[in-house]
């Protein structure tokens, strides 16, 4: 039963993150929900050079810009579509 509560709260977090403006910052929970991953995986991705930079709000608080995350998502999905189309022509 608790897994349903977790899923419901993540769904709400995702809806909230999508409804925000481009300059809005989202905390790790909402950022992970936008990407459909765990917070642990989010922090692993954050260490990669191609992932959007964190915005440090205070010593212990970080966030990401919604627009940066959306651009990153778009950059990851665009090459895959182009590769799959290119592969079918060969």
Q: Convert the pLDDT of each residue in 3-59 to its tens digit.
A: 556 667 777 777 777 676 667 899 999 999 999 999 999 999 999 999 999 999 999
Judge whether residue 2 has pLDDT over 60.
Answer: no
- Which residues in 60-77 are b (16+ Cβ under 10 Å) and which e? eebbbbbebbeebeeeee
User: What average pLDDT does range 86-90 have in this prediction?
Assistant: 50
Between 5 and 81, where is the model more confident? 5
Cβ 54 vs Cβ 10: under 8 Å = no
Give the contacts of 21 (CB within 8 A, at least 6 positions apart).
Answer: 66
Cβ 25 vs Cβ 42: under 8 Å = no
For residue 55, the model assigns a pLDDT of 95
For residue 61, the model assigns a pLDDT of 96
For residue 90, the model assigns a pLDDT of 43
Judge whether residue 86 has pLDDT over 60.
Answer: no
């Amino acid at each position: 039963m608790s897994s349903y509560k977790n899923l419901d709260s993540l769904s709400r977090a995702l809806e909230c993150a999508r409804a925000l403006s481009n300059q809005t910052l989202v905390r790790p929970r909402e950022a992970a929900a936008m990407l459909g991953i765990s917070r642990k995986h989010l922090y692993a991705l954050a260490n990669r050079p191609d992932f959007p930079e964190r915005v440090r709000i205070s010593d212990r608080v970080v966030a990401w810009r919604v627009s940066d995350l959306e651009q990153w998502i778009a950059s990851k999905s665009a090459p895959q579509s182009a590769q799959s189309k290119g592969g079918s022509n060969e």
